[in-house]
Structures are given as structure tokens and as C-alpha cells.
Amino acid sequence: MQRVQDITALRQALDAVRQRGQRIAVVPTMGNLHDGHLSLVHEARRRADFVVVTIFVNPMQFGPNEDLDTYPRTLADDQARLAEADCDLLFTPDTADIYPRGLKAQTRITVPEVSIGLCGGSRPGHFDGVATVVTMLFNLVQPQLACFGEKDYQQLAVIRRLVADLHLPVEIIGVPIARAADGLALSSRNSYLSEEERQRAPRLQAILNELRSALLAGQPPTEVLDNGLKQLVDSGFVPDYLELRAADLTPLRAESREAVLLVAAHLGNTRLIDNLVLTLPCQNSH
């Protein structure tokens, strides 16, 4: 596996790949890689000839009171895991390479509608940072396809809309959530959980499963969500949001069948997110 840090070296390496007519996939990450990230690399490997992984802790997507300074950085371990996963090239730029004029002077990309509410509501500006850096990475790598995890459901929706609206020639692949044996969605931030919190954290997915069962049984969504919020609080979580939306993240309509349950909640100092997709019975879509 080759590692490059500067943009010129990245472009030179990828020019050679394109001259060979090979299909390029990119997996953008912020490092501290776990099995969820590696599932994205494996999917990219399955679909492309040449796999690029980027590691960049993007300051633009962190709010003023968020964990940019303490976000786990584990480059040596990440490199070893990527080499094992058959990654071809690792791109690890510095902040100065990506934002040479600083964040305040940087051109930004805003994706309307799907960025509103949910994580976009509690983390203002977050998805502008995501959309901007992902667009830059697509321009730098010029891949045919890119893999993103479905755990960050709203982020995936933002990127799909971005690619459609800007007519970018990149196929976006959503990869199913990777979970621990007890059901907790894998996340770099899980390392912040205390031992007791880690034992409690799988309740998040368990509650979503219970809510899905209630919806499929025909219970009114408002009632189900109110019950879910109570369950979260009773289980020690501080809910940020719990919502049922159409699968494209628009508000649920009378005719909506494909839907998604989305949750974000704090457990101690750690913010956890999860989601479940479901097909609503006809009477539940009112």
C-alpha cells in the first residue's frame, strides 16, 4: 500500500492508474478505523480495481464545542489495518493542504433540504463541512465510485443529493451498518464510552427494533415515537432527536411506505446515532 500526503503526489499516482484504464473507488474517512470502515474498504475492493482511502479529520464539520481536538487519531494502526484490507493508496493530507487560505476564506458547499433538521439541526454547519470536503476529495481523486456507511444516514443522503445536483460522475454506494455482537453500531466515538455506558449503549438499537415492531403492528407513529423517547430517557440516554421520516428524509406523507427511524442520543458525554429502515403498512402512513 502506498501512502501519499501531498496533492501533487496523489495526482501523479492516480494519473498512472487511469492510464492503465483501472476503475477507482474512494473511501473518505476521518481515521481511527474500525470494522465498519473496513467493510467500506472491502466493498470498494469488490467493485473497483484500485482503492483509495482518505484520512482527514475535517475541522470544517466540527462545531465550536465539539471534539475536534480530542477526536481519536490512530494513524499507525489505521495504516496497518488498511494494508491488511488490501487498500492500494492512503491519502493523508494536512489541514493546510486542504484549506490553504484557512476555513474563513474557504469556498463552501451547502446542500439544502436534506441537511435540515436531525444532525443538521443539532450540529449547525456540520453538513456544509461534509459536503465541501467530500466535493474536494472527489475532485482530487476523481473516482468512479465512493463508499459510505449507512449509519450516517443523513450524511449519505446529503452526498447523494450533492452528486446529483452537481452532476458529478461518481456512483455512491451505501454500505449497511456494521454492528458489534450486541447490536451497537460501530463508531469511532464508542471509545469515549465508559465500561458501564458501553454495557448500556446497545439499548439504542433495541429500542429502535421495538419501535419498528410497533409501527409494523399498526400503532400510530406519534404514539410510537412518544413511547420511544420515554424508553430512551428511562434507559439513561439524553435524546437529541427521534424521528420517523420517508426514506429520502422528506417528511412522512400519507402515501409514504418506505421509511426510516432515526435517533441521536447522548450517553454520558458520547453522542450516538443509529437508524432502521422499514416498510410501513398502509394504515401507518397517515
Q: How far apart are CA 103 and CA 23, in angstroms?
A: 32
Q: How far apart are CA 236 and CA 233, in angstroms?
A: 5
Catalytic residue among 37, 167, 266, 286: 37
Q: Is 37 a catalytic residue?
A: yes
Quick one: CA torsion of 186, 190, 191, 192, rounded to 10 degrees? Answer: 170
CB neighbours of residue 73 within 10 Å: 12
Q: Count Cα neighbours of 105 within 13 Å in the Cβ-side half-sphere.
A: 6
Assigned C-alpha cell, 212: 419498528
CB neighbours of residue 238 within 10 Å: 11
Q: How far apart are CA 18 and CA 21, in angstroms?
A: 5
Give yes or no for a contact between 178 and 39, defined as CB atoms under 8 angstroms apart: yes
Active-site residues: which are they?
37
